[in-house]
Amino acid sequence: MTIRISFDGDEVLGREGQTIAGVLLASGRRSWRTADGEERGVFCGIGVCQDCVVTVNGVGSVRACQRTACDGDAIEREVR
């Protein structure tokens, strides 16, 4: 089943069961966080490094590689 999430206001389509990182990677994005002026995305992919954190529905520091994307999720880039 197709799901729709948003990333910084842009609609992104994914498949039910994908992680947020999986949906963003499949959409062609390789980074979705800025830390110390550098772009970050998936590094470890197993929930350890926290390079992939995003804000999900207003909740910050969610690891995109661990959180299953849900239809209607609003994802926002984090900048530190």
3 vs 21 by CB, closer to ligand FES:
21
Q: How far apart are CA 26 and CA 24, in angstroms?
A: 5
User: Secondary structure of 11-35 in the HEC alphabet?
Assistant: EEEEECCCEHHHHHHHCCCCCCEEE
CB atoms within 10 A of CB 70: 13
3 vs 65 by CB, closer to ligand FES:
65
Ranked by CB distance to ligand FES, the top (closest) residue is 65
Residue 63: CB minimum distance to ligand FES, A:
5
* Chain positions contacting ligand FES, by CB under 6 A: 42-45, 47-52, 63, 65
